[in-house]
Chains A and B, each alone.
Chain A
Amino acid sequence: MSRISDMLPRHFGPYGGRYVPEMLVPALEELEQGYLKYKNDPGFVAELADLYQNYCGRPTPLYFAENLTRELGGCKIYLKLEGLAHTGAHKINNALGQGLLAKRLGKTKVIAETGAGQHGLASATVAARFGMGCTIFMGEVDVRRQYPNVYAMKLLGAEVVPVTDGTRTLKDAVNATLKYWIQNLRDTHYILGSALGPFPYPVMVRDFQSVIGREVRAQILEREGRLPDHLVACVGGGSNSIGLFHPFLEERGIRFHGAEAGGRGLNPGDNAARFGSTPKVGIVQGYKSYFLQDDSGQLQNTHSVSAGLDYAGVGPELAWLYDQKMVEFAAITDVQALDAFRRLTRLEGIIPALESSHAVARAMELAPTLPRGEIMVVNISGRGDKDIFITAMELDRENWISFLESEVRHGK
């Protein structure tokens, strides 16, 4: 048993691990064995590849952002358009992989946490596609701010459970999903949505998301005949970033940039910048990593305009890459993200998700300082349709409110 587990990394440096109540261990071992069995199984690999291509629309484009490049006046910027994948974000890559695995393991139901709703949407989609039951746990705060996705999840047949505990955001949705899972291990698979949680989730999610980086590698080689100099991604739990970065980690000379949620500013509770002023290691939600917490080890409230980055922890592999100074993290404020959102929309005709807008904002900071000969790839992890209630309220408030009012009037 232990020999086989040695084949998947359980730890990344001191981080990761499987810090769960003993009763969860058998289920995680089953998942680990199942993943090991199928990850290189030709039938499994072929079925997933077929779904990626014909259901998700992969490979997603790598688009040369000519206008943005010219405007910023620095390095050459390419955008990886994960928002064009089915359901509108990278989350489907992982949800399909895990859903297919759940099916192979004989599970009849899937559950998932969601913040922005993109992972919940992807999981509900996979459940519909594979004919499985589906329950999605979502913080009450996020249900409100990402309602378009809530509607879509319900349409797909999922039950959406608003979580009213704690901070009522992503972290509490993870807790609620884990607890539901503990009580329903036999027939249910938990599709964890980011590269975090107890082993084997961080490695499994990273592997499924690495399709992003593998495609970028092939696409940039074809376009430019060489690898990029900079990779930029937003970092919530860390799945789109590690998925982009991982296939390049062995390369020399590439700089990896992570954009965290700087929220309203530096005060505790106003952001979700785990690598901000005083990063602190902890053990929460089944893994060891950096967490926003107080001196006693209580998790702190977080804030971000983007629900998907509004999370107190971060995946263990990124924690280890941070320690090794392999990935550079920067905090992007709500205001910066909204500004980047608007600028990218106008310049390129691409409406990014608010999460991805953090990566765009980071690219806007970096690009002007970089030589024209360098190449940067920015991951547009999702598209911005889901954020309409936030962005419209921020950017077109009066018209939006009168539209909502008239909708309500006519609806009645």
Chain B
Amino acid sequence: MENRIDRALKGAGGIQLMTHVVAGYPSLEVNAELIRLMARCGVRLMEIQIPFTDPLADGPTIMRANQAALDVGITPGHCFELCSALSSELPDVGFMFMTYANIPFAMGMERFLHQAAASGASGVILPDLPWDETDGDYAGAARQHGLHPVMVISPDTVGPRLDAVLRRASGLLYTTLKVGITGAGSSIGQAGVDYVRNLKNKAGLPIAAGFGISRPEHVRMLSGLADVAVVGSHIINLLDREGMSGVEDFLLACGRQG
């Protein structure tokens, strides 16, 4: 069976969106509703974040969402159930589990990958599990479960470390646009854009770019350079402030940029 990430990216004209939900924030029911809405708006790549107490790469918006989800008792099991339900309902969407090292470590990496695959996910994103630590070299194991190891790099990732990542990555390579943490920003820096351009030439696999994307213009800036624009914190902010319709308006506006 073809990996859904590959399917979503194959022959896609223009730039695709990848969105992010923190499972359990504000509730699993709202997550499901939001995921359906995003799919209706044409989003075919989605991250489901398994909440963690100490999310090292996340800024205030996503961190607070993690905390709120944990406060109501969300466990990894709930996250797998959410993905199971939605992945069978939405066969065109490629879901990726994003979380931090201690979650798969506590569960056992093999079991984590097995559960992720069994719940219909197509990839995993583990930003604090680097390939040069023994527990971090999970790319091959992920592929054996039919999951793409979506590795996260930044504009400072160059030289031999970039080569090492490229040897392991498959499906999609995620670069941040800045050296920083997640969070909706007001502008996208030129350095980030230049990095994406160079990476695209070198990588030989689809590139997702994110961190700070909060406007349709940001998506347009990346169009023709990256294959995927990632919108994380801004979706949460919109949902909090303007509800589902705010998210819908934004996604449709972004869609017109591609």
Check A25–B56 contact: CB distance below 8 A: no
* Option from A23, A175, A179, A288 in Cβ contact (under 8 Å) with B176: A23
Contacts known (A22-B153, A175-B56); A185 close to B179, Cβ less than 8 A? yes
* Option from B52, B63, B101, B130 in Cβ contact (under 8 Å) with A25: B130
Known: A17-B133, A18-B133. 17 other contacts (CB 8 A): A18-B130, A19-B128, A19-B130, A20-B130, A21-B57, A22-B130, A22-B151, A23-B176, A25-B157, A182-B180, A183-B179, A286-B56, A288-B133, A295-B106, A296-B106, A297-B102, A297-B105
Bitwise, A188-230 to B at CB < 8 A (1) or not (0) is 0000000000000000000000000000000000000000000
A 288-306 contacts with B by CB, 8 A: 288, 291, 293, 295-299
A340 at interface, CB cutoff 8 A: no
Check A23–B101 contact: CB distance below 8 A: no
A284 at interface, CB cutoff 8 A: yes
Assembled-state Cα–Cα distance A286/B133 (Å): 11
A34 at interface, CB cutoff 8 A: no
Q: Which A residues are CB-close (under 8 A) to B130?
A: 18-22, 25
Assembled-state Cα–Cα distance A296/B105 (Å): 9
Contacts known (A297-B103, A299-B53); A22 close to B180, Cβ less than 8 A? no
Q: Tell me how far the C-beta of B229 lies from the nearest C-beta in chain A, rounded to whole angstroms.
A: 19
Interface range for B: 35 or more
B202 at interface, CB cutoff 8 A: no
Q: List 30 A-B contacts (CB under 8 A).
A: A17-B133, A18-B133, A19-B136, A21-B56, A21-B57, A22-B130, A22-B152, A22-B154, A23-B176, A23-B180, A25-B156, A25-B157, A166-B54, A178-B56, A182-B57, A185-B156, A282-B102, A283-B128, A284-B54, A284-B100, A286-B56, A288-B133, A295-B106, A296-B76, A296-B103, A296-B107, A297-B103, A297-B105, A297-B107, A299-B102
Number of A-B residue pairs, CB cutoff 8 Å, is: 106
Chain A minimum-CB-distance residue to B76: A296
Q: Which A residues are CB-close (under 8 A) to B135?
A: 283, 288
- The CB with the most chain B CB atoms within 10 A, among A18, A20, A22, A23, is that of A22
Bitwise, B46-68 to A at CB < 8 A (1) or not (0) is 00000011101101000110010
Assembled-state Cα–Cα distance A18/B152 (Å): 15
A411 at interface, CB cutoff 8 A: no
Interface residues, chain B, with chain A CB atoms under 8 Å away: 52-54, 56-57, 59, 63-64, 67, 70, 75-76, 100-103, 105-107, 127-130, 132-133, 135-136, 151-154, 156-157, 160-161, 165, 176, 179-181
Chain B minimum-CB-distance residue to A185: B179
Q: Tell me how far the C-beta of A313 lies from the nearest C-beta in chain B, rounded to whole angstroms.
A: 10
Q: Tell me how far the C-beta of B83 lies from the nearest C-beta in chain A, rounded to whole angstroms.
A: 16
Interface residues on chain A, number (Cβ under 8 Å):
34
A348 at interface, CB cutoff 8 A: no
* Option from A23, A282, A291, A295 in Cβ contact (under 8 Å) with B154: A23
Q: Which A residues are CB-close (under 8 A) to B151?
A: 22
Q: Tell me how far the C-beta of B179 lies from the nearest C-beta in chain A, rounded to whole angstroms.
A: 5
Chain B minimum-CB-distance residue to A186: B179
Check B54–A285 contact: CB distance below 8 A: yes
Q: Tell me how far the C-beta of B107 lies from the nearest C-beta in chain A, rounded to whole angstroms.
A: 7
Q: Tell me how far the C-beta of A18 lies from the nearest C-beta in chain B, rounded to whole angstroms.
A: 7
Check A23–B59 contact: CB distance below 8 A: no
Check A283–B102 contact: CB distance below 8 A: yes
Check B106–A297 contact: CB distance below 8 A: yes
Assembled-state Cα–Cα distance A21/B106 (Å): 19
Q: Tell me how far the C-beta of B7 lies from the nearest C-beta in chain A, rounded to whole angstroms.
A: 27
* Option from A19, A23, A183, A286 in Cβ contact (under 8 Å) with B157: A23
Check B67–A166 contact: CB distance below 8 A: yes
A119 at interface, CB cutoff 8 A: no
Q: Tell me how far the C-beta of B155 lies from the nearest C-beta in chain A, rounded to whole angstroms.
A: 8
Contacts known (A183-B179, A298-B53); A22 close to B161, Cβ less than 8 A? yes
Q: Tell me how far the C-beta of A20 lies from the nearest C-beta in chain B, rounded to whole angstroms.
A: 6
Q: Tell me how far the C-beta of B131 lies from the nearest C-beta in chain A, rounded to whole angstroms.
A: 9
Interface residues, chain A, with chain B CB atoms under 8 Å away: 1, 17-23, 25-26, 165-166, 171, 175, 178-179, 182-183, 185, 280-286, 288, 291, 293, 295-299
Contacts known (A166-B54, A296-B75); A22 close to B165, Cβ less than 8 A? yes
Contacts known (A19-B130, A21-B56, A21-B128); A293 close to B102, Cβ less than 8 A? yes
Q: Tell me how far the C-beta of B55 lies from the nearest C-beta in chain A, rounded to whole angstroms.
A: 8
Check A179–B102 contact: CB distance below 8 A: no
Q: Which B residues are CB-close (under 8 A) to A282?
A: 102, 105-106
Check B179–A182 contact: CB distance below 8 A: yes
Chain A minimum-CB-distance residue to B52: A298
Contacts known (A166-B54, A171-B54); A23 close to B107, Cβ less than 8 A? no
Assembled-state Cα–Cα distance A160/B103 (Å): 32
Assembled-state Cα–Cα distance A284/B54 (Å): 7
Q: Tell me how far the C-beta of A8 lies from the nearest C-beta in chain B, rounded to whole angstroms.
A: 15
- The CB with the most chain B CB atoms within 10 A, among A286, A288, A291, is that of A288
